[in-house]
Amino acid sequence: MIYLDYTANTPADPVVLDAFIAAEQRYIANPNSTHIAGQQARAEMDRVTSSIAQHLGVQPAEIIYTSGASEANNLAVKGIAQAARHIGKHIISTELEHSSVGASLSVLQQQEYEIDLLRIGRDGRVDLDQLRELLRDDTILVAVCAVDSELGTVQPIREIAELVKLYPGCRLHVDATQAVGKTDLWLDGVDTMSFTAHKFYGLNGIGALYKRRGLVITPQISGGASTTIYRSGTPTLGLAVSLDAALTRALDAQAARTAQVRLLHDRLVAALRRYSLVRINSPETAVPHIINVSVTGIKGTRFQQALSEQGVCVSVKSACSSDGMPSKAVFAVSRDRRNALSSWRISISHLTTEEEIEGFLQAFDTCYKTLTNKEN
């Protein structure tokens, strides 16, 4: 099997897994318990939270643990909107957002919030001029992903933050799920930022929301003591420890890992461009970990299945997206519905080997010739 779907999920780093097991075995008490075992667990939770905050350059009180990025996005988008409804009900976002953001916006739209979606340029980036035009006094939220999961586009968060700060009642939420470990994070002017460990070799089931201190949001889970008033539930110390371990390793090794991925990316793209019906949808400025491809005339689901039969794992759109619909992200940059229906995603890692790249290219060649009846 050749696994090229690291954007959907990554294998747990053995060091991260060891950290989780050690914490689970050593700290058996609820960190909110007042007895000595609880106090020890609380001390470890505080240490881990301080470490995560230090990595991000924020305060420990600004870290909210969640079950993952989907919960963090729901908490941020709905929480900000509900807390600011006395100011206004206007929200700005994009077609590139993860389904957890899009679905949250749909729920708010049913509650009479007004949603505007920014145009996406051919380079995959949001239209800053349109954002400037759409912002108004009753705009309460701008929600933009740092890196798009389908194309790998890096959004201009710094420039977006500069525009948003001109409107005191507006908040900026950034979904950084695909950014951690792939590109530098920008938090100056960002009010909330979501991420999850299983995208950077951590465990499934643990994520976090950075929430700027002083910002009031409406909790989405009621009852149950935790580490914060904004997210109820027994603190998951072992998972928090694993998140810290994964984040530490991802940030420390980011430059070296990205350089390694870039070499694999360039080899893949050069090889794929030799085929006349192949279209690379990811812009040149995208992170090298994600390569979005279309083969003209062949639906993405069909090509994905053919590759799967050859033992190669790739994705059609995000793993959390609906099947059978064209990719909104690819349509946004190509303006071509058929191309969007033909698109699929390769996502690679520093764990990807040269042998796997060669195996993929051989499998691709076989599928391409079979499905298109063309030699190249």
pLDDT in tens, 50-108: 999 999 999 999 999 999 999 999 999 999 999 999 999 999 999 999 999 999 999 99
CA dist., res. 94 & res. 119, Å (int): 7
Mean pLDDT within 307-323: 79
Secondary structure class of 183 (helix, strand, coil): coil
Per-residue pLDDT at 333? 86
Among the listed residues 145, 313, 320, 367, the single catalytic one is 320
Q: Which tens digit of pLDDT belongs to each residue from 32-43?
A: 999 999 999 999
pLDDT of residue 264: 98
The pLDDT score that the predictor gives to residue 186 is 87
**Residue-level pLDDT at 97:** 94
- Those residues whose C-beta lies under 8 Å from the C-beta of residue 13, and which sit 6 or more positions away, are 201, 202, 245, 246, 249
Do 300 and 343 touch, CB atoms closer than 8 A?
Answer: yes
- Report the 10 Å Cβ neighbour count for 74: 20
Q: Give me the half-sphere count of Cα atoms (radius 13 Å) on the Cβ side of residue 116.
A: 20
Q: Which of 201-205, 208-212, 267-271, 313-317 has the lowest mean pLDDT?
A: 313-317
Residues found in the chain: 376
3-state secondary structure of 351: coil
Best CA proximity match to 338, nearest among 277, 271, 270:
277
- Among residues of the chain, what percentage have pLDDT more than 70? 97
Residue 320 appears among annotated catalytic residues: yes
DSSP states of 11-44:
PPPHHHHHHHHHHHHH--S-TT--SHHHHHHHHH
* Cα 280 to Cα 286: distance, rounded to the nearest angstrom: 11
The average pLDDT across 176-197 equals 96
DSSP 60: G
Reported confidence tier of residue 335, pLDDT bands at 50, 70, 90: confident
pTM of the model: 0.94
DSSP 233: S
Higher pLDDT, 326 or 190: 190
SS3 content of the chain, % helix, strand, coil (to 5): 40, 15, 40
Cβ atoms of 168 and 198 closer than 8 Å: no
pLDDT tens-place string over residues 225-253: 678 889 999 899 999 999 999 999 999 99
How high is the mean pLDDT of the chain? 95
Q: Which residues 6+ apart lie within 8 Å of 10 measured at CB?
A: 198, 199, 200, 201, 202, 349
Q: Regarding predicted confidence, which is higher, 333 or 315? A: 315
CB < 8 Å & 24+ apart, contacts of 236-239: 236/65, 236/205, 236/206, 237/23, 237/27, 237/31, 237/41, 237/44, 237/45, 237/48, 238/20, 238/21, 238/23, 238/24, 238/27, 239/20, 239/65, 239/197, 239/203, 239/205, 239/206
Amino acid in the structure at residue 102 = G
The confidence score (pLDDT) of residue 306 equals: 98
pLDDT of residue 323: 55
**Segment 105-148, tens digit of pLDDT:** 999 999 999 999 999 998 999 999 999 999 999 999 999 999 99
pLDDT of residue 318: 54
240 three-class SS: helix
pLDDT band at 324 (very low <50, low <70, confident <90, very high): low
Q: What pLDDT, on a 0 to 100 scale, did the predictor assign at position 376?
A: 79
- 21-25, 319-323, 356-360, 369-373: the lowest-pLDDT one: 319-323
Domains of the chain by start residue, with CATH: 2-9+254-372 (3.90.1150.10), 14-252 (3.40.640.10)
